[in-house]
Amino acid sequence: MMTNSFFDLSGRTALITGGGSGLGKNIAEVYAEYGANIAVCSRKLANCQETAEDLERRFGIKAKAYECDVSNEQQVEKTVAEVLQDFGAIDILVNNSGATWGEFAENMPLEAWQKVMNVNVTGTFLMSKAVGKHMIGNGYGKIINIGSTAGLKAESPEVLNAIGYSTSKAAVHHFTKDLARKWAGHGLYVNAIAPGFFETKMTKQTIAKHADKIISRNPMKKLGEPKSLQGVALFLAGAASDYVTGQIIAVDGGSSL
């Protein structure tokens, strides 16, 4: 475990939505490495349980898994209450749960649009609201929303054809800025990470079809690696970012430039 005070998370508790796999799991791993206790939740409890057990074994921290649909307010409030009962506090919240739907805009079903918005936007709001009340009471908290470079620029349909997803991530970016402005006086920090193309379950098909095109258009000529995201997530969770709020940090090799 590292002890550099800029990045030391000892004694902190982080709640990470969608933390059982993909980018959420990567973030949970680096927080645990730097001493944080970890609560992970998602609709798939088994993944979260496997991750929690792995983190406890590897890093000697306390970790626990919870089943939660972030678009359901009752489930969100129940999960947050359980985490607070089990850990005593939530110091760091990572809103990472996400959904996508690939389709031409003219053919996208309303149900698909609503599903993406409910998870990506409403879920981020509901979890921030529930955890934010606790953080405001404590006078401290770090909220990190996972956006996307898809919410920073309009991608060509040949690479990404998911207008609900890109629109939802643009909404998450503005939500981040607005909430940061509203809660700064309470000692809360609200920032977002906008990843470019990382290989995850959500992007697997797109990368399989368009890897050469995506890489050739990237100024650094490569896809994202877990460590790239972990570094920024760690920076935003600890003391190193204590004068940073309302920012959208692209981790994309320059693809959004």
Could you give the residue numbers annotated as active site? 165
Task: Quote the CA–CA distance of 189 and 179 in Å, as a whole number.
Answer: 9
Task: Quote the CA–CA distance of 225 and 209 in Å, as a whole number.
Answer: 19
Task: Quote the CA–CA distance of 63 and 53 in Å, as a whole number.
Answer: 7
Task: Quote the CA–CA distance of 237 and 74 in Å, as a whole number.
Answer: 27
| CA-derived radius of gyration, the chain | 17
Distance between first and last Cα of the chain: 36
Nearest to 140 by CA among 189, 100, 182, 97: 189
> Please, are residues 170 and 155 in contact by the beta-carbon 8 Å criterion?
no
Q: What is the DSSP letter of 148?
A: -
> Please, are residues 256 and 195 in contact by the beta-carbon 8 Å criterion?
no
Sheet holding 92-95, edge to edge: 63-67, 37-42, 13-17, 92-95, 141-146, 188-195, 248-251
DSSP output for 12-66: -EEEEETTTSHHHHHHHHHHHHTT-EEEEEES-HHHHHHHHHHHHHHH---EEEE
For the chain, the farthest-separated pair of C-alpha atoms sits apart, in whole angstroms, at 53
